[in-house]
Amino acid sequence: MRKITPVILSGGSGTRLWPLSRSMYPKQCIRGLNGERGSLLSATLARLSPDAGFGAPLVVCNNAHRFLVKDDCEQAAVAPRALILEPVARNTAPAIAVAALFAAKEDPSSILVVMPSDHDIKDVGLFRAAVERAAEVADKGKIVLFGVTPSEPNTGFGYIHRGPALDGADAFAIRSFTEKPDAETARTYLASGDYYWNSGIFVFRPEVFLAELAVFAPDVLEAARGALAKAEKDLGFLRLDQAEFEKAPSISVDYAVMENTEAAAMLAFDLGWSDLGSWSSLWDAAARDDEGNYIQGDSLLEDTRNCYIHSERSLISTIGVKDLVIVQTPDTVLVADKSRSQDVSKIVTRLKLANRREHEQHVRSYRPWGYFETLNIGSRFQVKLLHVKPGGVLSLQMHHHRSEHWVVVQGTAKVTIEGVEKLVRENESVYIVATQWHRLENPGKVPLELIEVQIGSYLGEDDIIRSDDIYARGAEEVQ
C-alpha cells in the first residue's frame, strides 16, 4: 500500500450555521459545537493523523483564517506537511489542484484522500479502513468518491447515481451527479436505492487527477501551477501567489472534473456521516434529552420538544414550542423553524446588504495572540477584555484618535510605551496617551487578561498604525 496523505480543505465560512459561524470565525474552527471539546477541524486532523499511520496532512485554508487553523493543528497535536493559504476564494477545484501539484512534486507515488474540514464521522476506525480500501481502487487509476447511503430525502445534499460494480461488491462506476434536488426528486432517489449522498471526500493518485484536470479544466490547472510556482513561505505558511491564483475560475471539483471524467468511481460509505451544514443536521447528530431537545447553556424549558437550544450568556426560557432552533450569542439571537434551517444563509445575505457586521465577527474577536471581547461601547468610549496567550505579543502600534487605560486582572503584562518597558501585575494599571507607540506582551506561562478602556473621538479597529508585528499581518488586516 502506498503512503496515504490527507488533504484537508478549510476554506469555507459555513453561513448556514450563523450566528455561531461567521466569516472571520468559520464553523470548522468553532470549539464546543454540540458540546464537543475541540473543533470540527481538530477532529478531522485527528481522524487521519500520522499516529494512525497516515502521512502528514496538507491543509488548504483561507488566508484570513490562518492563525485559527494553525491553533487547531496545535490543539490536535498534528504538524501539517504544509499549511497552504488561498489569497482569494475559488471553490474546491483550484484548492485541490494546488494540493495535488504539491503532493506530486513531493512524493509522486503518494495517494491523496481529500476531505472537507467540517464533517462529523462517528466510526473513525471503519472510516480509516474505508480510506485504505478506496486507496486500493485509486491505485488502479480511479478517482474514488465516497457515496453515503441516504437515510432521508434530504434536499441539502448533492446526489450520486450509482453505476455497475467495478472492483468487488463495494466499488461502482458513476452514472451521473445531481446538485441538491427538490423534495419530490429526493424522495424518488431514496426509494430507488441507486442514489447516494455526495460526501465530498475523494481518494486518488495526484497524477491521475492532474491528468483529468488538464483535459477538462486546463485553466484551473494553469492557475494552480502558477500560484504554487510563485508561492512564498511566511511564518510556517505557504502563501500562494495572489495574481496567479486569481486567474482560476471559481468552480467546484464536481463541475470541473467529476461530472466529465471516465475515471470516476464510487465507494459505498455508511459510517455515521454528517456534513453538519445546517442547524437541523446538528440537531440530528446531537445527544438529546427525553423530549428530543439538545440544550447547551442556561435554559428553562416547559412543554418543549425537538428543539436545538444554544445559549452563550443568558437564560433561554421556552413554553409550548417544538421543532425550533434557538441560538443566542452575546450580540444576536436566531429563532428558526428547524425545517427552514437551510434558509439561514438568507439572513446572512441580508446582513451583508445592510452593511452590518454581525455576519463577519463575533463580539469576541480572535487574533493570533489570543482574543478580545467587547464588553460595553458608547459614543466616546469602549470597554474590552483582552486575553493574551502565554508568549503572545501584540504589534507595536499607536492610535491617532483614542487613548487606552489597561487594568491587569490575571497574569503579568509586559508593556512597552515609547520604548520604555515595564511589568504590570494583577490589580495594577497603565495609561497610554493617543499617538504614543506601545506594545503589550504576555511573558508568563499562564494567560494574561486585562480590561482595556478606550476613550476618544473614533474607536474603530482601523485606527491602528503598526510599526512591527511578529505575525507579519498586512496593512489590510487591521486587527
C-alpha to C-alpha distance for 7 and 445, rounded to whole angstroms: 34
Indicate whether 274 pLDDT > 50. Answer: yes
Q: What is the arithmetic mean of pLDDT over 339-355?
A: 92
- Mean pLDDT over 323-339 rounds to 95
Q: Please say whether the beta carbons of 408 and 450 come within 8 A.
A: yes
Q: Report the alpha-carbon distance of residue 85 to residue 82 in Å, rounded.
A: 9
Q: Please report the pLDDT score of residue 475 as a whole number.
A: 54
> Contact 453/383 with Cβ under 8 angstroms?
yes
3-class state of residue 281 by DSSP: helix
Nearest to 98 by CA among 202, 13, 9: 9
Angle at 197 between CA 192 and CA 199, to 5 degrees: 160
| pLDDT at residue number 234 | 85
Question: What's the rounded mean pLDDT across residues 409-430?
Answer: 96
pLDDT-based confidence at 471, cuts 50/70/90? confident
Grouping H, G, I as helix, E, B as strand and the rest as coil, residue 136 is: helix
In this predicted structure, the answer to whether residue 470 has a pLDDT above a threshold of 70 is yes
Radius of gyration of the chain (CA): 24
**Banded model confidence at residue 34, pLDDT cuts 50, 70, 90:** confident
Q: Does this model's pTM top 0.85?
A: yes
pLDDT one-digit tens code per residue, 120-163: 888 899 999 999 999 999 999 999 999 999 888 888 888 999 99
For the CA atoms of 143, 146, 149, 153, the dihedral, rounded to the nearest 10 degrees, stands at -90
Contact 129, 146 (CB under 8 A): no
Q: What is the mean pLDDT of residues 307-330?
A: 95
User: If you average pLDDT over residues 60-89, what whole number do you get?
Assistant: 91
Handedness of CA 394, 399, 401, 405 (dihedral sign): positive
195 vs 270, higher pLDDT: 195
The phi and psi torsions of 324 (rounded to 5 degrees) equal -115, 155
Q: Which of 92-96, 272-276, 283-287, 337-341 bottoms out in mean pLDDT, i.e. has the lowest?
A: 272-276
Average pLDDT over residues 87-108: 94
What the block records as the C-alpha cell of 86 is: 488561498
Helices (H), 139-278: 183-192, 206-216, 218-229, 242-245, 253
**CB neighbourhood size of 51 (10 A):** 9
DSSP assignments along 431-457, one per residue: EE-TT--EEEE--SSS-EEEEEEEEES
Q: How many whole angstroms separate alpha carbon 189 and alpha carbon 182?
A: 11
- Predicted confidence band of residue 32 (pLDDT cuts 50, 70, 90): confident
Residue 473 above 70 pLDDT?
Answer: yes
Average pLDDT of the chain to the nearest whole number: 91
Of the listed ranges 191-200, 235-244, 269-278, the least confidently predicted one is 269-278
Q: Which pLDDT tens digit goes with each residue over 446-456?
A: 999 999 999 99
Please write the tens of the pLDDT for every residue from 213-229.
999 999 999 999 999 99
Q: What is the pLDDT of residue 412?
A: 96
Q: Give the CA distances from residue 376 to residues 16, 366, 379, 385, 390, in Å, rounded to whole numbers and listed in that order.
A: 28, 18, 11, 10, 26
Burial class from Cβ neighbours inside 10 Å (0-12, 13-18, 19+) for residue 473 reads middle
Residues 6+ apart with CB under 8 A from 420: none
Beta strands 143-148 and 195-204, pairing class: antiparallel
Residues forming beta bridges with residue 143, ordered by sequence position: 264
Phi, psi at 172, each rounded to 5°? -135, 155
Backbone CA torsion sign across 6, 11, 14, 20: positive
Q: How far is residue 382's CA from residue 456's CA, in Å, rounded to a whole number?
A: 9
pLDDT of 465? 86
Q: What is the pLDDT of residue 35?
A: 74
How much is the pLDDT for 216?
A: 96
The predicted-structure confidence for 39-68, as pLDDT tens digits, reads as follows 999 999 999 989 888 999 999 999 888 889
Could you give the count of Cα atoms lying within 13 Å of 209 in the half-sphere of its Cβ? 34
Check pLDDT > 70 for residue 277.
yes
> Grid coordinates 440530528 are at which residue?
284
Question: What pLDDT, on a 0 to 100 scale, did the predictor assign at position 1?
Answer: 54
pLDDT confidence of residue 479? 45
Interval 456-477 mean pLDDT: 79
**All 3 cell numbers of residue 460?**
474603530
Distance from C-alpha of 84 to C-alpha of 377, rounded to nearest angstrom: 37
> Are 244 and 97 within 8 A, CB to CB?
no
Across 329-345, average pLDDT: 92
Please compute the mean of the pLDDT values over residues 401-429 and round it to a whole number. Answer: 96
Question: Is the Cβ–Cβ distance between 122 and 46 less than 8 Å?
Answer: no
Mean pLDDT, residues 272-278: 84
Among 31-45, 130-144, 185-199, 290-304, the minimum mean pLDDT is found in 31-45
Specify the pLDDT at position 273. 86
109-147 burial, b if ≥16 CB within 10 A, otherwise e? Answer: ebbbbbbbbbbbbeeeeebbebbbbbbbbbbeebbbbbb
239 pLDDT band (50/70/90 cuts)?
very high
Domains of the chain: 4-274 (3.90.550.10), 287-353 (no CATH), 364-468 (2.60.120.10)
Q: Please give the Cα distance from 477 to 62 (Å, whole number).
A: 14
What distances in angstroms separate CA 463 from CA 376, 401, 435, 456, one per listed residue? 18, 7, 11, 11
